[in-house]
Amino acid sequence: MRVLINGFGRIGRTILRQLLTTRTDTGIKVVGINDVAPLDICAYLFAYDSVFGPFPKPVSGADGVLSVGDHQFPFSQEKDLSKLDLRGVDLVLECTGVARTSDIARRGLDAGAGAVLISGPSPAAEVTVVLGANDSALGDARIVSNASCTTNALAPLVRHLHDALDVTAAHMTTIHCYTSSQPMIDAPRGDFARSRAGALSMVSTTTSATELVAQVIPELAGRITGAAVRVPVASVSCIDLTATIRDAVTTEDLHQVLQRANSALIGMTHLPLVSSDLRGRAESLVVALPESFATTAQQIRVFGWYDNEWGFSARMIDVALRMGRR
């Protein structure tokens, strides 16, 4: 499967890291990278990552080529992807974060690529797919959204809980690390609270995850609310879900239900871990069983960790593979 990475930021670089280290057997071949930033800076940021550490092989960038170990990737700097010749490219991994309108989202198709997978929510996508929640929705859509990192953490969990216990109402809070949408020092942003220095304060804000869950699990529309608190941590976030259920359970019952969800998407831990312990985990969510319990017979609390960069990038690769098998 021949793919092009458009946008070599946090997700684009993390996808390539995985394809060259932990996911070398996928059959995915990166045939190009496109980013408006200078190649030498992109090579440097790939070689030295503040979250995941130095890349274990030599990295350099020159003459339109990003070299990583024995691999060489053609590197372009085209702002408008439709101006490139992408005939022969099966899939564009659209990781710029700006593909929110149809004219931008379909630029990969206009350039000749077979399909586009967007690394975030996008109203321009034909369908939003979250593995573990609505896998069958993929169909033959050519512009697909992989939703958000928080949606990928929340939706498979809620899908499993709803199927097992019948969720009647729920509220989720994501305690989320800071991102590039926040400034390092106080500076104007569209949102007043997010205009404050992201590494100095906890910032109460909103999340799109609950709206996206309603998209991918329509029967739960109107039953789930959510909020976010951005915290001064560089990586790994968590969700704290409180749900009212129709079927009464004990904590032991709940743990049995959660353990049945244990998979490549939803991991489990019995240990008293902290966020840094979860860095580099590929699951969409890792449920902390000691922090998950029945608060009353028909109300539960479930707590889980997710590496919002590594885990989400792993799902991008997984969805890309499914698109390639259609």
DSSP codes, 282-300: -SSEEEEGGG-EEEETTEE
Instruction: Provide the token pair at 244.
Output: 């009212």
Q: How many CB atoms sit inside 10 A of residue 33's CB? A: 26
pLDDT at 312: 98
Reading the block at residue 12, the tokens are: 């684009």
Task: Return the structure tokens found at 76.
Answer: 């372009």
CA pair distance 307, 291, nearest whole angstrom: 18
β-strands 116-118, 143-145 pairing: parallel
* Gap between the Cα atoms of 105 and 117, Å rounded: 9
User: Exactly one of 95, 149, 177, 238 is catalytic; which is it?
Assistant: 149
Distance of CA 96 to the CA centre of its chain: 13
Question: What does the pLDDT read at residue 247?
Answer: 85
Note the helical H segments in the chain: 10-20, 39-47, 102-105, 107-110, 149-165, 209-216, 251-259, 310-324
Which part of the chain has CATH 3.30.360.10?
149-308
Q: Which residue has the tokens 């070299």?
A: 67
**How far is C-alpha 318 from the geometric centre of its chain's CA atoms?**
11
Q: Tell me the sheet residues that pair with 175.
A: 229, 238
- Active site annotation includes 149: yes
pLDDT at 217: 96
CATH of domain 2-119: 3.40.50.720
Beta bridge partners of 294: 300
Instruction: Report how far residue 137's alpha carbon sits from residue 50's, in angstroms, rounded to the nearest whole number.
Output: 36
User: Which residues of the chain does CATH 3.40.50.720 include?
Assistant: 2-119
Q: How far apart are CA 130 and CA 149, in angstroms?
A: 10
Which amino acid makes up residue 86?
A: L
CATH of 149-308, one of 3.60.21.10, 3.30.360.10, 3.20.20.70, 3.40.630.30: 3.30.360.10
CA atoms of 267 and 261, how far apart (whole Å):
8
Whether the predicted model's global pTM rises above the 0.85 cut: yes
| CA 48/CA 265 separation, integer angstroms | 28
Phi-psi region of 281 (alpha: psi -120 to 50; beta: other; left: phi over 0): beta
Token representation of residue 93: 């991994």
Ranges of the chain with pLDDT below 50? none
- In whole angstroms, give the CA distance from residue 25 to residue 315: 15
Q: What are phi and psi of 203, to 5 degrees?
A: -120, 115
What per-residue confidence (pLDDT) applies to 209?
A: 95
The answer to whether 79 touches 36, Cβ cutoff 8 Å, is yes
Tokens of residue 191, six digits:
């949102």
Displacement of CA 63 from its chain's centroid (Å): 32
Contact 239, 174 (CB under 8 A): yes
Distance CA 26, CA 272 (A): 33
